[in-house]
Amino acid sequence: MALLQEADRKVLKEKFAELKNPVKMVVFTQEMECQYCKETRQLAEEVAELSDMITLEVYDFVKHQEIAEEYNVDKIPATIIMTGGDDPKDYGIRFYGIPSGYEFSSIIEDIMMVAGGETGLGAEMKAWAAALDKPVHLQVFVTPTCPYCPRAVLMGHQLAMESDMITADMVEAIEFPHLSNKYAVQGVPRTVINETIHMEGAAPEPMLLAKLKQAA
Amino acid sequence: MFRELQFPKHQSYLRDWSNLEDWTNLKKMNLNMDLGMGLSNLGGPKEYDVIIVGGGPGGASAAIYTARADLRTLVIDKGLTAGALGITAKISNYPGVPGPIAGADLVEIMRRQAESFGAEFLTDKVVGVDLSSHPKMVMAGTDTFHAKAIILATGSMGRTNTVKGEAELLGRGVSYCATCDGAFFRDKPVAVIGNNDEAIEEALFLTKFASRIHLLVPTPAFKARQVLTDEITHHPNVTIQMGVRLKEIVGEDQVEGVRIQPRGGEETVLPVNGAFVYLQGGQPITDYLMGQVETTEAGCLSVDAEMQTSVPGLYAIGDLLCSHIKQAVVAAADGVIAAVAVDKFIHGRNKIQTDWK
């Protein structure tokens, strides 16, 4: 059974008609598909079908271990949105867990952003990102029923695209309970920066920037 | 079918999930049917001339005037009984309406009047605004909108103070969003503190996860719609205490309980793992602005004679302004002043069309 309904496809097709540059989706699953691996893969397949500008590569987390390492993917289901075509570029945009519910829009926003080549971040944030000289890792914990969460995910992914020093993961809290425990996640969105600094809620750029400055 | 499922009403999407057995089903449902939750804005944000946040007497009056001036108008409001007038049982001093009339009925009349001129109303909660973008952006729970001008009319039923422990334990068991965080409290006891529609809806949502919900009502009676109070009162997993003050949220690294005091009674600590707080007070509601507009020390917005804030195209009216008498008719008059100013701002007009020329 298709996950995307006909009306959804139509809206997405129209949206994707604006895509100017090729986008690649990379999905990691495994033969004995994990919880939501199957749906994550199927969702990616159905999205990729909607535009010639979107290509999809699906890998087995176990069999293609070296590729998983290359992409620095350590858990599944994992989805990467990156520039495709002849000159591919991975920005460090990651979704761990299924991007369903409110998070489905984050995948689509990311595709549009990567194809457009512009993050839309404010001048101050861009200046900070440009001056970064050490790596920054953001993990944005979400649930699919959280309307505030996509804002936090998108901002993380904007940052990842803005600077090669930054990687940003969406982490679906319920699918990765050990990570939720590790980072004491009992509310979402919760953004963990470089393991130590954390922030509750979908904060505007200046607030996130203040936290980022603490971390790096 | 996602258009039907994009949750036009806050309460309806809670209802739609009420038959769900567990989180897995919830997620499956999201997959199969509710991708549209996030999809609704994929056609690009919907464009309006003016968005009015809050549909009380101020917001509805502004909408009457902006819609009548042919400005594409959207009013986003949490619900009829979300504001100060909406929960007023009887009002008899609104000019032209002898009454006594229920506050919610009076608001409803104003909304119908605005709708008759073409204003649209959306039942939703605004979660954020972006004032730096052009046009300005308004993010609601279900969708994102663009507008040339925004009128803020969210009133002053926000909380004055947090209780001890609340800020420290935010995200560690303290939450303001049950739909976001309910799944972290599976088979655990939680407290929901509040007396309005939102508190009851969120408590009902939590019945899908929590082992027991203690609904702690700060007033002697609910201030919510009857259909909700009936449902919550009869729910087997919900224990209701009326007239209870929340004194403290207790816990070291995470919530371990809430310290409460019943009217005329002794303080006790109720052991819970989660505390969902939906208390109201007398503070202007400006949290969704996330610091993008300066407020006074008392938390109020400052405006000029045309109700414009320091941000061009952003207006504030009614109980958001501390200089005002907190009366429905004053908020309504503010709304009209702001509406005329918005028309000027967008069209460069000097005056609005009048009936008495």
The pLDDT value recorded for residue B37 is 43
Amino acid at A177: P
Shortest distance between the Cα of A66 and any Cα of chain B, in A, equals: 31
Q: Per residue in B99-111, is it b (16+ CB within 10 Å) or e — as a string?
A: eebbbbebbbebb
| B180 touches A at CB < 8 Å | yes
State mean pLDDT over A70-90. 96
Contact check, Cβ <8 Å, A3/B31: yes
The pLDDT value recorded for residue B28 is 41
Q: Distance between CA atoms of B169 and A83, rounded to whole angstroms?
A: 40
- On average, the pLDDT of chain B sits at 85
Which of A77, A100, A185 minimizes the C-alpha distance to A146? A100
Q: Distance between CA atoms of B214 and B237, rounded to whole angstroms?
A: 9
Shortest distance between the Cα of B229 and any Cα of chain A, in A, equals: 24
Substitution target in A100, A175, A179 with the highest count of B β-carbons within 10 Å is: A100
A86-95, A165-174, B193-202: least confident range: B193-202
Three-state DSSP class for residue B341: helix
Work out whether the CA dihedral B280, B158, B139, B190 comes out positive or negative.
negative
Q: Are residues B154 and B287 in the same domain?
A: yes
Shortest distance between the Cα of B37 and any Cα of chain A, in A, equals: 6
Q: Which of A12, A102, A200 sits opposite B42 (nearest CB)?
A: A12
Kindly list the residues from chain B whose CB atom is less than 8 angstroms away from the CB atom of residue A12: 39, 42
Residue B355 lies in a domain: no
Q: If you measure CA to CA, which chain B residue comes closest to A100?
A: B31
Identify the domain boundary among B233, B259, B277: B277
Shortest distance between the Cα of A9 and any Cα of chain B, in A, equals: 10
Which of B132, B116, B133, B137 minimizes the C-alpha distance to B53? B137
How far is C-alpha B156 from the geometric centre of its chain's CA atoms? 11
Residue B16 lies in a domain: yes
State mean pLDDT over A65-70. 96
Shortest distance between the Cα of B324 and any Cα of chain A, in A, equals: 30
Q: Distance between CA atoms of A165 and A112, rounded to whole angstroms?
A: 22
| B144 touches A at CB < 8 Å | no
Q: Are residues B194 and B153 in the same domain?
A: no
pLDDT at B88 over 90: no
Q: Are residues B31 and B121 in the same domain?
A: no
In chain A, which residues fall in CATH 3.40.30.10? 6-116, 123-215
Residue B1 lies in a domain: no
Q: Pull the structure tokens for residue B196.
A: 């309005």
| B127 touches A at CB < 8 Å | yes
Q: Are residues B211 and B148 in the same domain?
A: no
Query: Angle at CA B267, nearest 5°, toward B266 and B270?
Result: 125
The pLDDT value recorded for residue B11 is 28
| Touching A: B residues 292-311, CB under 8 Å | 292
pLDDT at B14 over 60: no
pLDDT at A75 over 80: yes
State mean pLDDT over A127-142. 96
Q: Are residues B150 and B227 in the same domain?
A: no
| B25 touches A at CB < 8 Å | no
The pLDDT value recorded for residue B158 is 85
pLDDT at A1 over 90: no
**Host H or E run for residue B87:** none
pLDDT at A124 over 70: yes
CB A117 within 8 A of CB A21: yes
Shortest distance between the Cα of B144 and any Cα of chain A, in A, equals: 11
CB B205 within 8 A of CB B180: no
How far is C-alpha B128 from the geometric centre of its chain's CA atoms? 12
Contact check, Cβ <8 Å, B254/A145: no
pLDDT in tens, B205-229: 999 999 999 999 999 999 888 899 9
The pLDDT value recorded for residue B300 is 93
CB B106 within 8 A of CB B97: yes
Q: Distance between CA atoms of B127 and B106, rounded to whole angstroms?
A: 26
Q: If you measure CA to CA, which chain A residue comes closest to B10?
A: A147
pLDDT at B184 over 70: yes
State mean pLDDT over A128-149. 94
Q: Which of B26, B181, B292 sits opposite A188 (nearest CB)?
A: B181
Q: If you measure CA to CA, which chain B residue comes closest to A149?
A: B180
Which residue segment(s) compose the domain that B300 sits in? Answer: 46-158+283-347
State mean pLDDT over B296-311. 93
A105-119, B276-290, B338-352: least confident range: B338-352
Q: Which of A101, A146, A187 sits opposite B34 (nearest CB)?
A: A101
Contact check, Cβ <8 Å, B184/A186: yes
Q: Distance between CA atoms of B333 and B62, rounded to whole angstroms?
A: 8
Residue B166 lies in a domain: no
Beta strands A166-172 and A93-96: pairing type? parallel
Q: Distance between CA atoms of B55 and B75, rounded to whole angstroms?
A: 6
Residue B105 lies in a domain: yes
Q: Pull the structure tokens for residue A152.
A: 């936090």
Kindly list the residues from chain A whose CB atom is less than 8 angstroms away from the CB atom of residue B39: 8, 11-12, 104-105, 108
Counting one residue from chain A and one from chain B, the pairs whose CB atoms sit within 8 A come to: 134
Shortest distance between the Cα of B302 and any Cα of chain A, in A, equals: 22
pLDDT at B21 over 60: no
Kindly list the residues from chain B whose CB atom is less than 8 angstroms away from the CB atom of residue A146: 177, 179-181
The pLDDT value recorded for residue A204 is 78
Please classify residue B327 by burial: count the beta carbons closer than 10 Å to its beta carbon, then call 0-12 exposed, 13-18 middle and 19+ buried: middle
* Domains contained in chain B, number: 3
Q: Which residues contact B128 (CB under 8 A, 6 or more apart)?
A: A148, A151, A202, A204, B138, B139, B288, B290
Shortest distance between the Cα of A132 and any Cα of chain B, in A, equals: 25
pLDDT at B44 over 70: no
DSSP readout, A154-184? HHHHHHHHH-TTEEEEEEETTT-HHHHHHTT
Q: Are residues B154 and B294 in the same domain?
A: yes
Residue B205 lies in a domain: yes
pLDDT in tens, B236-269: 999 999 999 999 999 999 999 999 999 889 999 9
Q: Pull the structure tokens for residue B283.
A: 């503070």
Residue B2 lies in a domain: no
Give B128's Cβ-side CA count (13 Å radius).
17
| B20 touches A at CB < 8 Å | no
Three-state DSSP class for residue A28: strand
Kindly list the residues from chain A whose CB atom is less than 8 angstroms away from the CB atom of residue B30: 100-101, 144-145
The pLDDT value recorded for residue B353 is 53
Identify the domain boundary among B261, B277, B293: B277
Q: Distance between CA atoms of B280 and B244, rounded to whole angstroms?
A: 14
| B198 touches A at CB < 8 Å | no
Q: Fold for domain A6-116?
A: Glutaredoxin (3.40.30)
Q: Are residues B88 and B228 in the same domain?
A: no
- Strand order, beta sheet including A166-172: A54-60, A23-29, A78-83, A93-96, A166-172, A136-142, A190-193, A197-200
Query: Angle at CA B91, nearest 5°, toward B154 and B76?
Result: 25
Q: Which of A12, A102, A184 sits opposite B37 (nearest CB)?
A: A102
Q: Assign residue B123 the CATH number of its domain.
A: 3.50.50.60
pLDDT at B7 over 60: no
Contact check, Cβ <8 Å, A186/B170: no
Residue B139 lies in a domain: yes
**Four-way CATH pick for A123-215: 3.30.390.50, 3.40.50.300, 3.40.30.10, 3.30.360.10:** 3.40.30.10
Contact check, Cβ <8 Å, A188/B180: yes
Which of B269, B188, B248, B208 minimizes the C-alpha distance to A186? B188
Q: Are residues B90 and B183 in the same domain?
A: no
The pLDDT value recorded for residue B133 is 77
Q: Are residues B227 and B307 in the same domain?
A: no
| B29 touches A at CB < 8 Å | no
Beta strands B46-53 and B73-77: pairing type? parallel
pLDDT at B43 over 70: no
Q: Are residues B289 and B154 in the same domain?
A: yes
Q: Are residues B139 and B70 in the same domain?
A: yes
